[in-house]
Chains A and B, each alone.
Chain A
Amino acid sequence: MTSLINNILTFLYMLIGVGFLIAAIESFRDKTNSTRYGTGLFWTLFAVIFALGQWLPNALVGAFLLVIGLLSLLKQVKVGHIKEINVKTAESAALRLKGWIFLPSIILAVTAILVAQFTPFGGQVGIGAAAILSLIVAVVLTKSSGKAVFDDTQRMVRSVGSAGVLPQLLATLGVVFTASGVGNVTAHAISSVFPVGNHMLGVVLYCVAMAVFTIIMGNAFAAFAVITAGIGIPFVVAQGGSAVVVAALGMTSGYCGTLMTPMAANFNTLPVALMEMKDPLGVIKQQAPIAIPMLIIQILLMYVLAF
Chain B
Amino acid sequence: MEYIRLIGVLVIILGFAFKLDTVAVVLISALATALASGIDFTKFLAILGQGFLDNRMVSLFFLTLPMIGVIERNGLKASAVNLIHRLQNLTPGRIFDIYLLIRELACVFGITLQGQVQFIRPLINPMAQAAASVEAKLTPKDVDRIKARSAATENFGNFFAQNLFVASGGVLLMASTMKSLGYKVDPTGIVLYSIPVAVITLVLVFVYNRLFDRQFTKKGRVDHD
Contact = CB atoms under 8 A, between A and B. Distances in A.
B145 A65 contact: no
B74 A156 contact: no
B201 interface: yes
Contact of A105 (B22, B109, B152): B109
A175 B55 contact: yes
Interface residues of A, number: 156
A49 B187 CA distance: 24
Given A173-B26, A283-B151, A216 B116 contact: no
A24 interface: no
Contacts of B12: 173, 217, 222, 226
B177 interface: yes
Contacts of A165: 23, 59
A92 B6 CA distance: 56
Interface in A118-135: 122-124, 126-128, 130-132, 134-135
A217 B13 contact: yes
Interface string A89-113: 1111111011101101110110011
B84 interface: no
A268 interface: yes
Contacts, number: 472
Contact of B197 (A64, A168, A217, A249): A249
Among A64, A130, A160, A286, the most chain B Cβ lie within 10 Å of the Cβ of A286
A73 B21 contact: yes
Interface stretch (A26-34, A195-203, A239-247): A239-247
A182 B36 CA distance: 11
A298 B75 CA distance: 37
A251 B30 CA distance: 21
